[in-house]
């Protein structure tokens, strides 16, 4: 079978299509024919050895898959060949076949494509955990979403509206602003590209404050980081919750006096660890996501698809922060 492998640290140009043996499922595992693998920002980092997870090489990137069962390991119940599933293995998904723990798989609902299924779990499960558990978002509250046209950003916009919040989307272009509005954002603002000097940060803070209103944002969802973080924090409400989701613009340093002045919380969001530590709670979240999907309150936006041979191009587009919604590699 074919796999797109990272043999040494580097960018997407270092990835190579390689023939590898088909795997055999062990105890508690499923043998899966991968039909689609979504690309996410961790795929950019993991091949450069800049992610917290560092798999032994060679390995395939691709942390989110949809496919069908072709083999069942010892002790696995409830799964049979031909069953359709989605899963977040973390890496390894840019292959034609792989094995995954059966406990990590969720059934892909009937009528949903492999492409859409591959684009659902990581972004929406991250966002529902962030907003429901860490942000304690309630109807009528104001939610500010940075990077609101990316995969997790659009998921946060849709989930915020499903919760009954007022959603302000912050993006870097008018095309992205339109995508956020289409996802349900009440307002979309276009901020300039960083990095910023102090005056630039002050101007950005005023832009955020003007958008969220004088009471501030009850919840701020930040999958961007960098020079955008402090200006966003300055727009937070009294006892607001600032959600730390990711750092494509760099890891920021926040002045902690701001947290004292606003009596606010800075909350880390690590969905993968949450899902491992509390699988029952994660399963409840996924069940709710399926219900919201059926109710057409959420819908993965796949802006482009690629064959396996061009998966490196998808990772490069993600690295350039030029993507609206999700990119999916179809196998």
For residues 43 and 102, state if they share a domain.
yes
Contact 177, 154 (CB under 8 A): no
For residues 214 and 153, state if they share a domain.
yes
Question: Is residue 204 scored above 90 in pLDDT?
Answer: yes
For residues 99 and 205, state if they share a domain.
no
Q: Is residue 287 part of a domain?
A: no
- Parent domain of 249: 123-272
pLDDT band at 86 (very low <50, low <70, confident <90, very high): very high
Q: Is residue 277 part of a domain?
A: no
Residues 272-292 have a mean pLDDT of: 96
The 3-state DSSP class for residue 1 equals coil
Least confident of 165-174, 190-199, 205-214: 190-199
Q: Distances from the Cα of 33 to the Cαs of 21, 23, 100, 128, 200, in angstroms?
A: 13, 11, 11, 28, 49
Nearest to 148 by CA among 201, 204, 191: 191
What CATH number did the domain enclosing 17 receive?
A: 3.90.180.10
Helix then strand count (H, E) for the chain reads 11, 15
**Interatomic CA distance for residues 296 and 171, integer angstroms:** 24
pLDDT band at 193 (very low <50, low <70, confident <90, very high): confident
For residues 43 and 77, state if they share a domain.
yes
Q: Is residue 29 part of a domain?
A: yes
Question: What percent of the chain has pLDDT above 70?
Answer: 100
Q: What pLDDT sits at residue 89?
A: 96
For residues 86 and 227, state if they share a domain.
no
pLDDT in tens, 49-61: 998 889 999 999 9
For residues 137 and 261, state if they share a domain.
yes
Q: What pLDDT sits at residue 52?
A: 85
For residues 35 and 71, state if they share a domain.
yes
Q: Is residue 160 part of a domain?
A: yes
For residues 68 and 98, state if they share a domain.
yes
Q: What pLDDT sits at residue 170?
A: 98
pTM of the model: 0.94
Q: Is residue 292 part of a domain?
A: no
pLDDT in tens, 111-136: 999 999 999 999 999 999 999 999 99
When divided into structural domains, the chain yields a total of: 2
pLDDT band at 253 (very low <50, low <70, confident <90, very high): very high
Q: Is residue 240 part of a domain?
A: yes
CA atoms within 13 A on the CB side of 56: 0
Supply 305's token pair. Answer: 């698809």
Q: What pLDDT sits at residue 322?
A: 81
Q: What pLDDT sits at residue 203?
A: 96
For residues 95 and 65, state if they share a domain.
yes
**Interatomic CA distance for residues 11 and 284, integer angstroms:** 37
For residues 169 and 108, state if they share a domain.
no
Q: Is residue 289 part of a domain?
A: no
Q: What pLDDT sits at residue 194?
A: 85
For residues 109 and 234, state if they share a domain.
no
Residues 168-188 have a mean pLDDT of: 97
Q: What is the DSSP string of 56-96?
A: PSSB----EEEEEEEEE-TT--S--TT-EEEE--SS--SBS
pLDDT band at 164 (very low <50, low <70, confident <90, very high): very high
For residues 318 and 251, state if they share a domain.
no
Q: What pLDDT sits at residue 127?
A: 98
Q: Is residue 183 part of a domain?
A: yes
Looking at 255, 272, 289, the residue that finishes a domain is 272
Residues 148-174 have a mean pLDDT of: 97
């Amino acid at each position: 079978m074919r796999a797109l492998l990272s043999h040494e640290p580097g960018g997407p140009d270092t990835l190579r299509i390689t023939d590898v043996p088909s795997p055999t499922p062990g105890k508690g595992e499923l043998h899966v024919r991968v039909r689609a693998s979504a690309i996410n920002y961790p795929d950019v980092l993991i091949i450069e050895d800049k992610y917290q997870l560092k798999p032994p090489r060679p390995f395939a990137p691709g942390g989110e898959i949809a496919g069908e069962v072709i083999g069942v390991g010892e002790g696995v119940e409830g799964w049979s060949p031909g069953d359709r599933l989605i899963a977040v293995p973390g890496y390894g998904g840019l292959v034609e076949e792989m094995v995954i723990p059966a406990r990590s798989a969720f059934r892909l609902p009937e009528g949903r494509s492999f492409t859409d299924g591959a684009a659902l779990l990581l972004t929406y499960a991250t966002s529902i955990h962030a907003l429901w558990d860490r942000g304690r978002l309630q109807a009528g509250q104001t939610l500010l979403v940075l990077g609101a046209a990316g995969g997790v950003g659009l998921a946060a916009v849709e989930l915020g509206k499903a919760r009954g919040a007022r959603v302000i989307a912050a993006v870097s272009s008018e095309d992205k602003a339109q995508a956020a509005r289409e996802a349900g954002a009440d307002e979309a603002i276009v901020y300039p590209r960083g990095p910023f000097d102090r005056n630039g940060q002050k101007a950005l803070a005023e832009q955020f404050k003007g958008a969220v209103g004088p009471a501030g944002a009850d919840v701020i969802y930040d999958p961007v980081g960098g020079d955008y973080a402090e200006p966003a924090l300055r727009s937070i409400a009294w006892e607001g919750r600032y959600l730390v989701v990711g750092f494509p613009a760099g890891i920021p340093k926040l002045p902690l006096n701001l947290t004292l002045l606003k009596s606010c919380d800075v909350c880390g969001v690590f969905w993968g660890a949450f899902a491992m530590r509390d699988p029952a709670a994660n399963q409840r979240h996924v069940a709710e996501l399926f219900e919201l999907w059926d109710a057409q309150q959420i819908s993965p936006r796949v802006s482009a698809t690629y064959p396996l041979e061009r998966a490196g191009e998808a990772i490069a587009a993600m690295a350039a922060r030029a993507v609206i919604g999700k990119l999916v590699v179809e196998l």
